[in-house]
Amino acid sequence: MRKKPSCVVIDDDGILRNLMAALMRRLEFDVLGEASHAHDGLRMCMDFHPQLVLLDINLPESNGLELLPQILRLSPAPKVIMVTGEPTLDKVKEALSLGASGIIVKPFTPAKLIGEVNLALGLHL
């Protein structure tokens, strides 16, 4: 039996976080955790070692751009797709230069999320 790919969802918008997690479950991902704060999200990544992290750029206490390098230092490093409602060119460039595997702009369609996950992980969902 093939092991399910795993992910953690970090977003302070509870409705959107739940929707992303539900979509990932429908795609047969093992959703290892959901967090609304950077500290909780980092702890989940350290504890569970997901293959994929969906990470909001704007979080309370910190932001996803500060959290991204910390997540990518984990071993094995997960793929990280940044999620943002403010797709300024500077933020997009910074996220990609820090090692993000993709960017999703809110609001997004399920097809956009699936496309970014496919690109990041080399899957065909």
Q: What is the pLDDT of residues 26-47, one digit of tens each?
A: 999 999 999 999 999 999 999 9
- Quote the percentage of the chain above a pLDDT of 90: 85
Please determine, for residue 1, whether its predicted confidence score (pLDDT) is greater than 60: no
Residues 6+ apart with CB under 8 A from 26: none
Q: What element of type H or E holds 66?
A: helix 64-72
Q: CA 52, CA 42: separation in Å to the nearest integer?
A: 13
Say what the pLDDT of residue 3 is: 80
- C-alpha span between 72 and 22 (Å, rounded): 24
Q: At what angle do helices 64-72 and 89-97 cross, to 10 degrees?
A: 10
Give me the amino acid identity at 103. Answer: I
